[in-house]
Structure 1
Amino acid sequence: MTALDLVVHGRVQGVFYRDWTVRTARELGLAGWVRNEGDGTVAAHIEGEPQAVEAMVARMRDGPPRAAPTRIEQREVAATGLTGFERR
């Protein structure tokens, strides 16, 4: 099990980035959450099989059609045993 905390920079608020993240994470069988931050970034915690986590980060670099992510900060953290993926 791998877990990451992420901060996504760029045009990621107001473009359905969170909803897209929830749908994509669920398709990949990941657990965690995603939320907007006051500084215009999107924060997320994802955990699951290493290959699925890697695939999710790769997809988040593009995001949904109207998004324009410029950079993703990532930090490996301990998995918390979450089940499901939610928007906060």
Structure 2
Amino acid sequence: MKTFYTEREGLTLGLVGWVKNTNRGTVVGQVQGPRQQVHEMKVWLSKEGSPSSRITRAVFKNERDISKLELSGFSTRF
């Protein structure tokens, strides 16, 4: 999954966070925002992704509620 499309989807949903391609051909990242928009992002990551992606599974870890956003913007890390 190309991180550009993931970044764009996060911004469209009004989320903050970051994404990064790994050497293993996967994407890791962190997403924060309203619960419903985070859920929509997880569905997008699990089912759609970028046009050239081949999604075999999606794993979401370390989920927790936060009282305020800890990040700002949405970026791609290298």
Aligned to 2:55, which of 64, 69, 76? Answer: 69
Structure 2 counterpart of 1:58, from 13, 36, 43: 43
Structure 1 residues 1-88: aligned runs within 5 Å: 12=1, 17-61=2-46, 62-75=48-61, 76-77=63-64, 79=66, 81-88=70-77
Question: Which structure shows the higher strand fraction?
Answer: 1
Residue 74 of structure 1: SS of its match in structure 2? coil
Indicate the structure with greater helix content. 2
Matched residues, number? 73
TM-score for the superposition, normalised by structure 2: 0.84
RMSD: 1.5
Q: Which runs of 4+ in 1 moved over 4 A?
A: 77-80
How much identity, in percent, do the aligned residues show? Answer: 34
Output the TM-score relative to the length of structure 1.
0.75
- Return 5+ residue gaps in structure 1 as ranges: 1-11
